[in-house]
Structure 1
Amino acid sequence: MARRNKIYEGKAKILYEGPEPGTLVQYFKDDATAFNAAKKDVIEGKGVLNNRLSEFFMTGLNNIGVPTHFIKRLNMREQLVRACEIIPLEVIVRNYAAGSLSTRLGIEEGTPLPRPIVEYCYKDDKLGDPLVSEEHIAAFGWASQQDMDDIVSLALRVNDFMSGVMMAVGIRLVDFKIEIGRVYEGDFQRLVVADEISPDSCRLWDLKTGQKLDKDVFRRDLGSLTDAYTEVARRLGIMPEHGQGGAKPTLIN
Structure 2
Amino acid sequence: MRRRRIYEGKAKVLFEGPEPGTVVQYFKDDATAFNNQKKGTITGKGVLNNRISEHLMLRLAEIGIPTHFVRRLNMREQLVREVEIIPIEVVVRNVAAGTICKRLGVEEGTPLPRSIVEYYLKNDELGDPLVSEEHVTAFGWASTQDLDEMMQYALRSNDFLTGLFYGIGMKLVDFKLEFGRLWDEEEMRIVLADEISPDSCRLWDINTNEKLDKDRFRKDLGKVEEAYQEVARRLGVLPEAGPVDMQGPQVMQ
TM-score range, shorter chain: over 0.9
Q: Which residue of 2 aligns with 1:190?
A: 189
The one-letter code sitting in structure 1 at the alignment partner of 2:85 is I
How far 1:90 moved relative to its partner? Answer: 0.5
Q: TM-score, normalised by structure 1?
A: 0.94
Deviations 1:50-79 (A, max 9, x none): 000000100111111100000000000000
Q: Which residue of 2 aligns with 1:235?
A: 234
Describe the shift of the 1:131–1:32 C-alpha distance in structure 2 as closer, same or farther (beyond 3 A): same
Separation in structure 1 between the aligned mates of residue 226 and residue 204 of structure 2, nearest angstrom: 14
Q: Secondary structure at the match of 1:119?
A: strand
Q: Secondary structure at the match of 1:87?
A: strand
Separation in structure 1 between the aligned mates of residue 30 and residue 247 of structure 2, nearest angstrom: 20
The one-letter code sitting in structure 2 at the alignment partner of 1:199 is P
1:48-197 paired onto structure 2 within 5 Å: 48-197=47-196
Describe the shift of the 1:234–1:84 C-alpha distance in structure 2 as closer, same or farther (beyond 3 A): same
The one-letter code sitting in structure 2 at the alignment partner of 1:183 is L
How far 1:92 moved relative to its partner? Answer: 0.3
Do residues 203 (structure 1) and 214 (structure 2) align?
A: no
The one-letter code sitting in structure 1 at the alignment partner of 2:202 is R
The one-letter code sitting in structure 2 at the alignment partner of 1:177 is K
Q: Which residue of 2 aligns with 1:28?
A: 27
Which structure is richer in relative contact order (CA contacts within 8 A, separation 6 or more)?
2
The one-letter code sitting in structure 2 at the alignment partner of 1:224 is K
2:43–2:247: 8 Å Cα contact kept in structure 1? no
Q: Which residue of 1 aligns with 2:251?
A: none
Residues matched between the structures, number: 247
Structure 1 gap segments, 5+ residues each: none
2:118–2:130: 8 Å Cα contact kept in structure 1? yes
Identity of aligned residues (%): 65
Q: Secondary structure at the match of 2:50?
A: helix
2:173–2:201: 8 Å Cα contact kept in structure 1? yes
How far 1:185 moved relative to its partner? Answer: 1.3
2:48–2:238: 8 Å Cα contact kept in structure 1? no
Q: Which residue of 1 aligns with 2:18?
A: 19
Separation in structure 2 between the aligned mates of residue 83 and residue 68 of structure 1, nearest angstrom: 11
Q: Secondary structure at the match of 1:55?
A: helix
Q: Secondary structure at the match of 1:149?
A: helix
How far 1:216 moved relative to its partner? Answer: 0.2
Separation in structure 2 between the aligned mates of residue 27 and residue 76 of structure 1, nearest angstrom: 9
The one-letter code sitting in structure 2 at the alignment partner of 1:131 is L
Structure 2 gap segments, 5+ residues each: 249-253
Separation in structure 1 between the aligned mates of residue 164 and residue 226 of structure 2, nearest angstrom: 20
2:13–2:26: 8 Å Cα contact kept in structure 1? yes
> Root-mean-square deviation (CA), in Å?
1.6
1:230–1:249: 8 Å Cα contact kept in structure 2? no
Separation in structure 2 between the aligned mates of residue 125 and residue 14 of structure 1, nearest angstrom: 17
The one-letter code sitting in structure 1 at the alignment partner of 2:96 is A
Q: Secondary structure at the match of 1:117?
A: strand
How far 1:115 moved relative to its partner? Answer: 1.0
Q: Which residue of 2 aligns with 1:46?
A: 45
Q: TM-score, normalised by structure 2?
A: 0.94
Q: Secondary structure at the match of 1:197?
A: coil
1:4–1:17: 8 Å Cα contact kept in structure 2? yes
How far 1:239 moved relative to its partner? Answer: 2.7
Deviations 1:120-175 (A, max 9, x none): 00000000000000000010001111111111001001111111110000000000
How far 1:233 moved relative to its partner? Answer: 0.6
Separation in structure 2 between the aligned mates of residue 127 and residue 109 of structure 1, nearest angstrom: 25
